[in-house]
Amino acid sequence: MLRLLSIAELTGRLARRESSAREVLQACFDQIAQVDGTVRAFVSYDVADAMAQADEADRLLAAGMTHAEKPLLGVPVALKDVLCHRGQPCTCSSKILKGFVSPYDATVVSRLQAAGAVVFGRLNMDEFAMGSSTENSALWTTTNPWDPARIPGGSSGGCAASVASNECFASLGSDTGGSIRQPAALCGVVGLKPTYGLVSRYGLVAFASSLDQIGPFTKTVEDSARMLGVIAGHDPRDSSSVPQAVPDYARALGRDLKGLRIGLVKEFQIGGVDPAVDAAVRAAVRQLESLGAEPVEVSLPHSEYAAATYYIIAPAEASANLARFDGIRYGLRVDGRDPAELNSRTRGAGFGPEVKRRVILGTYVLSSGYYDAYYLRAQKVRTLIRNDFLKAFEQVDAIVSPTTPTPAFRIGEKADDPLQMYLSDIFTISCNLAGNCGISVPCGFTDASSAAPRLPIGLQILGKPFGEETLLRIAHAYEQSTGWHREKAPLA
Ligand code: GLN
């Protein structure tokens, strides 16, 4: 069955001309028709445009083009609805962008297409990427392919659910405080947040510009390396993107872990971690040890302040970034007697409650009199958090932890309690504050019970800035020695 293949397997098949790109894309659409009524990952897709891309891939394959030249030739990839794709709607799962059509391609989209990918659909998310469950989407809540009564995680919930249910072969999402790694963990797929500055954000609708990164959701670590190789690299159109050469990530895979030191964070031994998650991560550490890695305890003394720091800095930046949605330039407009009334009516009608909460919070911490007490202080704590990581990485090559404290929770369970929801990101947030890279790989399952079916658990591995090769090497060695990634969701 085509849809079950990894990118590595699929490109082999396409290269041998055993399947056409059109058949592969059709397999995605068939699966969407089969399961997306339940999963609800896709916000929109353009069948004619996608088929034209697939036909072009088939034409190139017939003309002898190889995957050495175009590594994703014929591979269907879907996008979080926050990335601009020319001529396609971009809603950020918000009512305020109703009717907006992207006038240009994000750099990651141009790079996918230059690599031959068939970029074909848009995936649900928490509104403007604020949330951990997709319940903040103004459209609907995406469900978890392992249990449709549960959330897929967020904010890139549609990205994780679409890959876990084999509706596409990979997707691109964004991670500001965990939005790639957390949903990947809860849906049992691989999610990579690259180092800040490695991947261009040109054409990504900004949430918190000092934290946002784009990264891939894939079925395997090898596929993650392939996707990263395509999207990484300097872009003069994003001033935060770093001008340095992109290594061949796939070449870093397949080595053992002898001589590597793996950090276990003293301060991450907190209460509130689900016993099944704790047990799976402990077993993963033993597995890494058996592969030759040496576990070492490290300290990140300021990590207890990470969530508080994040929930000042991210809303502050969001309040500035979202000022552009003024009812005049983009999407929705609710008329008023004057521009000020038009602006406030449009924003009142167009933004959902979580976005309003963040804009109000962000405006408050930036306002005169409070700036020094909150925003400036949070920036100082951020520096302490970054320094903690730099120190820890003098002792170890990577740090491991659970990706999330619990497996996927029930839809509605935390929807009315923002503080509980914010705690979903307790292990992922500090990586964004520090600007490091991180990945979540499947590391086991909860036991099925009368209360819940078996649910996936994610292992988070954090790496040094621009340490993606080592990160992927560890993740790959772990994945290949355990095989958790081969387990399929009921809706796969
Ligand atoms: N859940 C976090 C938040 O709500 C992180 C979101 C993200 O990474 N985009 O802000």
130 Cβ closer than 6 Å to some ligand 1 atom: yes
* Per-residue pLDDT tens over the stretch 6-52: 999 999 999 999 999 999 999 999 999 999 999 999 999 999 999 99
Of 6, 20, 80, 424, catalytic? 80
| Separation CA 269–CA 294 (nearest Å) | 19
> Judging by DSSP bridges, how do beta strands 213-218 and 190-193 pair with one another?
antiparallel
Q: Is the pLDDT confidence value at 53 over 80?
A: yes
Residue written as tokens 């387990």? 487
Q: pLDDT digits over 351-409, tens only? A: 999 999 999 999 999 999 999 999 999 999 999 999 999 999 999 999 999 999 999 99
315, part of any domain: no
| Ligand 1 contact via 177 beta carbon (within 6 Å) | yes
pLDDT, average across residues 232-244: 97
Residue 213 counted as domain residue: yes
pLDDT on residue 46: 97
Average pLDDT estimate for 447-459 = 93
Tokens of 393: 């990485």
**Strand pairing category for 170-175 and 118-123:** unpaired
Q: Which of 79-93, 179-193, 439-453 is the least confident region?
A: 439-453
Residue 156 φ/ψ, nearest 5 degrees: -85, 50
What DSSP designation does 64 have?
T
pLDDT of residue 157: 98
In a domain, 461, yes or no: no
CA distance 419 to 285: 30
Query: Does residue 152 lie within any of the structural domains?
Result: yes
On whether residue 354 sits in a domain, the answer given is no
Residue 448 CB neighbour total at 10 angstroms: 11
Question: Which helix or strand (DSSP H or E) is residue 325 part of?
Answer: none
- Tell how far the Cα of 154 is from the centroid of ligand 1, in angstroms: 7
Within a domain: 423: no
Task: Output the pLDDT for position 271.
Answer: 80
The answer to whether residue 62 sits within a structural domain is: yes
Find the radius of gyration of the CA atoms of the chain.
Answer: 21
**How many domains would you assign to the chain?**
1
Residue whose CA lies nearest to ligand 1 atom number 10: 130
Arithmetic mean of pLDDT, 206-222: 98
155 within ligand 1 shell (Cβ under 6 A): yes
Q: Is the CB of 440 under 6 A from ligand 1?
A: no
Q: Which domain holds residue 89?
A: 2-260
Task: State which of 126, 174, 186 you would mutate to test the pocket of ligand 1, scoring each by most atoms of that ligand within 8 A of its C-beta.
Answer: 126
How confident is the model at residue 249, as a pLDDT? 97
Q: What is the pLDDT of residues 288-329, one digit of tens each?
A: 999 999 999 999 999 999 999 999 999 999 999 999 999 999
Atom of ligand 1 nearest to the CA of 358: 10
User: 3-class SS at 339?
Assistant: helix
For the cut 80, the answer to whether the pLDDT of residue 255 exceeds it is: no
Round to whole Å and give the CA distance between 196 and 181: 15
Catalytic residue among 6, 133, 174, 179: 179
> Measured from the CA of 425, which atom of ligand 1 is nearest?
1
Question: CATH number, domain at 31?
Answer: 3.90.1300.10
Whether residue 80 lies in the annotated active site: yes
Spot the catalytic one: 94, 102, 155, 424. Answer: 155
pLDDT band at 163 (very low <50, low <70, confident <90, very high): very high
Q: What DSSP designation does 247 have?
A: P
Which ligand 1 atom sits closest to the C-alpha of 174? 9
- Indicate if 241 belongs to the active site: no
| The pLDDT value given to residue 453 | 94
**466, two tokens:** 């621009």
Quick check: CB of 317 below 6 Å from ligand 1?
no
How many beta carbons lie within 10 A of that of residue 326, not counting itself? Answer: 16
Q: State pLDDT tens for residues 118-153.
A: 999 999 999 999 999 999 999 999 999 999 999 999
Contact indicator for 129, 39 with CB cutoff of 8 Å: no
**Would 415 be classed as within a structural domain?**
no
Question: Per the confidence metrics, is the pTM higher than 0.85?
Answer: yes
